[in-house]
Each structure stands twice: as structure tokens, then as C-alpha cells.
Amino acid sequence: MNNVISLMDGEAKVDLNDPWQWAQEHDAIDPTHRIEDVTTWLNTPVALRAQGVLIQQEEELELVAPYLESFKLMALEFKDFKDGRAYSLAYLLRTRLHFKGDLRAVGDVLRDQLSLMRQCGFSSFAIKQGKDPFDALKGIKGLSVTYSSSVNNPSPLFKRVRRY
């Protein structure tokens, strides 16, 4: 997969050696680095299942909730930058379902969204084709202070500020 930014040891870096690949019909990609859509994944024999899954914005997390420990990577698709359902899915995966693997934003992923995506729990970002991932890397830093709670910092600002 091209144009990937990954959080490694808490620091964002362009990942030039990202091993993950999208599964196409009849591909012989190693399942340890293959990403399949949910329907294909559920209909594949257990021994041949990919360790990466793509969740569309309209899909329910209940489909994959019993299998979360089977995934090294879950990709959440942003079909349009104006549609924020994947933010909610990421937040739920991290906070309620306690998914610990790589949570990747894919699709219409742009520089201006990366800081908020990180706050919602994303750990890697497949930047939209045609955009420079090194330029997008600047967007991950985003705001230096957030007011509300997030996956990364569950305490809101008023609880983090020391009072004298």
C-alpha cells in the first residue's frame, strides 16, 4: 500500500515499507498482510482468513466484534472527507471494544483530518493517492492542545490543568 503514515513508538513517520495489500479475487497474497472486505473475510475458511479487514462506513461493528483478536489491522474507509462515520467507528473500536491492533484510515484521507483521526484512535493513515505523504505528515501534529477528551488522552483539558 502506498502513501502510508504510521505511528511508531508514538511518533508519526512515512512508512515506505508498508507490507499490507488489498486482496483481489483469487490473489495469492500471504494472509498475514492481506486486507479483505468483511463479507469476503466472513465467508473464507478460518485457516485461510486474512489478518486485515476493511470496514465500510455503513457496516455494523457487531459483524466483527467476536473476531477482533484475529485482526492485526482494521481499515476504516472514508468514502468522502465530509462523512465522519469512520471517526465514530474508530472511537468505538478503541474505547468500547478495546481493539489493540493497527487501526488504519483509508480512502479520502487528507492532511487536515490526521490530527482528529489520531485523537479518535487511528494509528496509521493511507493518504489519498496523488497527495504527498511527507507533506501530510505535518498535519498529524495538528493542535498542540485539545480541549475535549480523546482516545489518546481521556481526560478533558479542565482536568489536566493544574489549579493553584
Q: Are 95 and 151 in contact (CB under 8 A)?
A: yes
Q: Show me where the domains of the chain are located.
A: 4-160
Strand, helix or coil at 62?
helix
The C-alpha cell of 3 is what?
502513501
- Statement: residue 144 has pLDDT above 60: no
- Residue 31's pLDDT is what? 81
Instruction: Kindly give, in sequence order, each residue whose CB lies less than 8 Å from that of residue 20, ignoring residues fewer than 6 positions away.
Output: 1, 4, 33, 34, 35, 52, 73, 104
- CA 98 vs CA 37, 65, 66, 76, 114: distances in Å: 21, 10, 12, 16, 21
Of 17, 15, 16, 54, the residue nearest 34 (C-alpha): 54
The C-alpha cell of 20 is what?
499490507
Architecture of domain 4-160 in this structure? 3-Layer(aba) Sandwich (3.40)
Q: How far is 157 from 148, CA to CA, in rounded Å?
A: 6
- Residue 83's pLDDT is what? 85
Give 13-55 pLDDT, tens digit per residue: 999 999 999 987 556 777 889 999 999 999 989 988 999 999 9
Q: How far is 143 from 80, CA to CA, in rounded Å?
A: 23
Q: Are 127 and 138 in contact (CB under 8 A)?
A: no
- Residue 6's pLDDT is what? 94
Give 57-106 pLDDT, tens digit per residue: 888 899 899 999 999 999 999 998 788 899 999 999 999 999 999 999 99
